[in-house]
Structure 1
Amino acid sequence: MEIKILYVGLQEVVEEHKISLRTRCENVTEGSDEIGNRTLLKRIYTDLFITEALSEEVDTEHEVKHLERASKIQKLHGSPIRCHDIFKTFPDQPGAIRVVLTVGVAGVGKTFSVQKFTLDWAEGLENQDVSVVVLLSFRELNLIRAEQHSLLSLLHVFHPTLQKLPAKQLAKCKLLFIFDGLDENRLSLDFNNSQLVSDVTQKSSVNVLLTNLIKGNLTCAVRVLTTTRFPVTCQEPT
């Protein structure tokens, strides 16, 4: 009986969170934030041409998905990947994909893409195996870079609808974190010399918290999707 009550409680929190994400993502700004007009994302969204690519600078065990304009399809090699299938593995690919970096030039539609990903999850259309999607931007994270946070308090700051989610339930959830705009990052993310944080209630600097989250130390059931303008050297965190 106790397990059933917890499950219902989790579902209620998730449904409230989905409503919040739908409100946040269903309308977007065209143009600059100052002069752009709000419009429905579904009305203007165009599927991006996504391919899996590995450069010689990238560790072969790290999955990198590049975004390009559809007009460049004829110049690219490989099969296109649907945005919602970005974490799905191919038959010849060993293991699950946990961390994905999408790289594309400014204006290609990276932010719209992750907003559409989030909106479709919130509307129950895609990726329903994920318990909770957490959408964050590095612009937001830069504002609290001098603060101390736990994973739980970080969620409470940016997604108040998750304040009702107990720490024990959070640790059991299958989470998907979307970090938009790595090129705007002002945090020092050191994957090799970072303090270990493995408790979702343990406070640390935002730098340390994010590195442990991306490395999978805080919860094993976590996926991470990050967008950036610039190709970067990406090594699987160790």
Structure 2
Amino acid sequence: MALLHSNLSPSTSPKILRDDAYQERPVDSCRFLLTMVGETGLCGSTAWSQGQGGYVTVTISSRQIHKTAVVGNAGEPEWNDTFQFTTKHSDNLIISVYASNVSGHDILLGLVEESLVNVDCTGNGDMSRKVFETQGNRSFALNFRFEHAMFGLFIAINEYEIQAIPNLRGCKTDAQSVMEILAHRFHVPSANFLFLADEQATRSAIISRFQKHLIENSNIQHGDAIVVFYAGHGSQTDAPSGWIVDNGKVETICPHDE
């Protein structure tokens, strides 16, 4: 059996080094990635065809947080522009589509207001919204995609190297089910997950992957959601010196090889 824990003593708290410009993220906020994919149905628009192309702006609480590049009006516009932002789940996004004019007087073609609550609850990461033109009776479809900034290490062990430890069933299935929910319902990219199963989940591998995938991962920013999932046998061992626990014992997980 093995105890997996950090080298920090109970009296040592990790410190975050930051400059004066650093701002703590509110507890109820989350980092999102938004991809402005494109639009369909704009080719027949008079304002669009007479302009020099178009672009999209994204606004939260009257503050513009992003503006895409201008794309030409030769066909249906495709931006495929991904950016990230941090805001509260209760906030709404206003996504506005403009036709670019050489005179500098750009024309608002239409806008859509999207609640971030829908992104969390409905599973509509890939979205298409009908937008009515401000300059006429036509409508077009605005296509965009949301992703959550979440990272995870998933450990599932059905089969153990030591014969004295009975094998299990269903651990890998449970881990895969949770990953599928996070990927399909909450739109977390699969590259953000690392899965160790059976003989891959040795003690050294678990510690190494935890360090590299979660602690040293440059894609993870302060406040991002971290998921550590374990399915397998558990045990107990004597608590390290200085730990305050009941009965002097702590819970442990059982790697494949111990």
> Is TM-score (shorter-chain normalized) higher than 0.5?
no
Q: Into which bin does the TM-score normalised by the smaller protein fall? A: under 0.3
Larger proportion of helix:
1
- TM-score w.r.t. the length of structure 1 is 0.26
| TM-score normalised per structure 2 | 0.24
